[in-house]
Structures are given as C-alpha cells and as structure tokens.
C-alpha cells in the first residue's frame, strides 16, 4: 500500500502536458493545402505546397519574395498532383525555386524550372502533415479562454482575465459576434503577446457577406465566414506595422485564427493573421491576407502575402485528460502488483529452500 501511495503521489505531482504551437511542415510555407489550390489573378509571395492539383485561371505568380524574406533553399512550389493552366493568354510564374510536381503540367506560358518526380520523393507527406495539423487545431480549440469577448457597438472587445505565464492569450469568437461587428480591439495584453482566436459557428447561422458569391447559408453545417476584422492590439492596428519588404516588428505575425472542425471558411476581407483551417475548403474574394494559410483546399483570387506566424510563448499548458490519468494509474497498479508478486515468489522460493535443507 505504501508503494502504491508513493506512485500515486508521484503521478499527481507531474507537470501538465505542454502543447507547442508549432505548424510542423506547414511552417516553411506561405500557403499549405491538403487538396487542390484553385487560383486566378493574384500571387503568393512565399513558398506554396499543394497536396492535390493546382488549377490556374489568369495571371499568377509564386515565390517572388522568397529571397527577400530569407525563406531558405528548396522548391518554391510543390504540387503532389497536376498543374493545370487554363488561360493560355496569361502567365504562371514561379520564382526563386523549382516547380516540383508529381503529376502532369498542362497549358502554355509557364515560366518556371519544372522538375517532375515521384510522389513519394516529394519533401512533404501531406497525409501525415495534416493529421498533425488537425490535432493541433483541435487541441487549440479545447483550450480555456484566457479572457472575455464582448460586443461594444461596432467593436468586439477582447479583454484578458488572467496573465498567462506563456504570454499566449486565447479568445473565443462566434459567427453571431462577427456578423454585427467589424473592429476587433485587444486590450490589456503585452505588446509582444501571441493571440489565438478560436472561431466557430456552432448555431450554423448565415454569414453577412452580401458582396461576394462565397457566403455561409442559414443551416449550413461547418461553415464560418469572416467579412470585416480591423484588429488592433492595445490601440495599434495590425495594418499599421506592415512593410511590404520587411518582416521586422509586425503585429500580424502574433495572431492566429483557428477554425477547428470547420468544413468551409469564407474570407471576404483583408486579413492580418495566420489561418489554421486544416479541414476546411477556403473560399475567398479578391482581397489580401498578410500571414500564412493552412487549409484543406483553396478557391479564389485573394493575394497571399508572407507574414510567418511567430508565437512568443514556447508552449500552451494543457492538463492531461482524465482518461490519460486513469491509464497511468492503471499502469502504476500493474507495476505495483508485479512488484508484489515478485516479492511473494522470492519468499516462496526461500521457504522451499529452507524446507529442503
């Protein structure tokens, strides 16, 4: 019994499990998709990885600022399927790295160093990468909010109720709140805080985007829509820190939009944040995002500018779930019984030896 109590005490004194906000393989890319990448009339400044096909209609370029932002070596565009260019009057341009693909390339006016390879030789296993990203997104969604989200006229105010040791603040945002506001004000956090917005539409209500074909309909399951998000941190707009050719001192690199469980995400506004929506088909209008984009697929003409997510905190503390504790305690009991049985076996062997002697 004493040994059992010691084991239980030791287990209960273990530190909580720590979840790192690490984007895994996606961290190296400006845009990262499990399936198809459907684009027209825009560009992506950094590297792109596509687990399905890349379908291009109109002028498009990839990788023009890879060297400017010191993204390192490697292919500028990775496509596990086909590259299909349907508008032969326009150019697809891939700069500062190869276009590495495992399928076929169709269309003309493609300015790129084409490198064909087998799918298993690509630098990414998309199934493994997205299994990891799905879990990361779910784990972030399960975190307890570190503050309140309240509506004040046209604004959503985000106010922390605690000061996290890891400097990572988590806030919850619903579709209802987004439909009636446009300014997002984060107050009372440190200037270098990392901010995670867990965004949901659990009531499946319609979005309010009336000037785009991509909108969430009433009753549509798993659809989330963002139309206006003019975000400020302690009174300073994220947009005020953007310099097209300099990544230093940007506020948008500190902000993550998490869409765990969403099957469709509609982006209808300029955005300054990284998008984590690994299970969602992302649909956009012709606007601009400064951040990284991770999704199941992409459709639209939004320009994707490079602003890598750089969390300040090293980890997010997550208590071990009860099922894990039960497993650990059960394992402790097995070890204890094994030890006890070993003692009994030794005692029996000693007694038998004494009788024989």
Q: Which pLDDT does position 300 carry in this prediction?
A: 94
Cβ(231)–Cβ(248) below 8 Å: no
pLDDT at 212: 61
Please report, for the chain, the start and end positions of each structural domain, with discontinuous segments joined by +. Answer: 25-124, 136-342
Measured CA to CA, the distance from residue 304 to residue 324 in angstroms comes to 40
Compute φ and ψ for 226, nearest 5 degrees.
-120, 120
pTM of the model as a whole: 0.83
Per-residue pLDDT at 228? 80
What pLDDT shows up at residue 44?
98
**Rounded Cα gap, residues 44 and 37, in angstroms:** 12
Between the two ends of the chain, the Cα-to-Cα distance in Å is 33
- Residue 2 corresponds to which tokens in the numbers above? 């004493």
Whole-number pLDDT of residue 242: 86
pLDDT, residue 333, reads 54
pLDDT value at residue 313: 55
Q: How far apart are CA 134 and CA 111, in angstroms?
A: 34
Which pLDDT score, from 0 to 100, does residue 208 have? 82
Cα-Cα-Cα-Cα dihedral sign, residues 177, 179, 183, 189? positive
Rounded CA gap, 13 and 118, in Å? 49
- pLDDT at position 6: 45
Q: Which two tokens stand for residue 210?
A: 């009336």
| Cα–Cα distance, 350 to 313 (Å, whole number) | 58
Kindly give the parts of the chain with pLDDT less than 50.
Answer: 3, 5-18, 314-325, 328, 335, 343, 345-346, 348-357
């Amino acid at each position: 019994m004493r040994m059992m109590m010691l084991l239980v005490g030791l287990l209960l004194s273990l530190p909580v499990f720590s979840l790192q906000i690490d984007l895994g393989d996606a961290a190296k890319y400006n845009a990262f998709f499990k399936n198809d990448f459907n684009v027209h009339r825009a560009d992506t400044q950094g590297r792109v990885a596509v687990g399905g096909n890349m379908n291009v209609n109109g002028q498009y370029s990839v990788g023009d600022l890879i060297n400017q932002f010191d993204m390192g070596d490697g292919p500028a565009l990775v496509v596990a399927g086909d590259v299909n260019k349907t508008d032969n009057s326009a150019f697809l341009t891939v700069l500062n790295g190869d276009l590495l693909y495992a399928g076929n390339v169709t269309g003309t006016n493609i300015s790129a160093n084409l490198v064909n390879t087998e799918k298993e030789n690509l630098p990414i296993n998309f199934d493994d990468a997205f299994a990891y990203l799905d879990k990361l997104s779910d784990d972030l969604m399960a975190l307890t909010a570190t503050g309140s989200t309240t509506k004040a006229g046209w604004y959503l105010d985000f106010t922390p109720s605690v000061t996290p040791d890891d400097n990572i603040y988590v806030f919850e945002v619903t579709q209802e709140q987004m439909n009636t506001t446009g300014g997002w004000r984060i107050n009372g956090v440190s200037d270098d805080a990392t901010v995670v917005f867990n965004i949901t539409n659990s009531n499946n209500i319609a979005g309010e985007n009336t000037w785009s074909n991509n909108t969430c309909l009433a009753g549509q399951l798993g659809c989330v829509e963002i139309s206006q998000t003019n975000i400020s941190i302690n009174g300073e707009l994220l947009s005020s820190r953007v310099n097209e050719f300099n990544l230093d001192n940007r506020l948008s690199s500190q902000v993550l939009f998490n869409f765990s469980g969403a099957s469709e995400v509609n982006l209808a506004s300029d955005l300054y944040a990284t998008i984590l929506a690994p299970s969602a088909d992302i649909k956009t209008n012709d606007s601009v995002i400064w951040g990284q984009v991770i999704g199941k697929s992409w459709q639209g003409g939004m320009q994707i500018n490079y602003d890598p997510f750089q969390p300040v905190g090293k980890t997010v503390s997550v208590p071990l779930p009860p099922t894990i504790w039960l497993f650990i305690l059960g394992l402790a009991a097995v070890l204890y019984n094994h030890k006890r049985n070993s003692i009994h076996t030794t005692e029996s062997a000693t007694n038998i030896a004494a009788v024989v002697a």
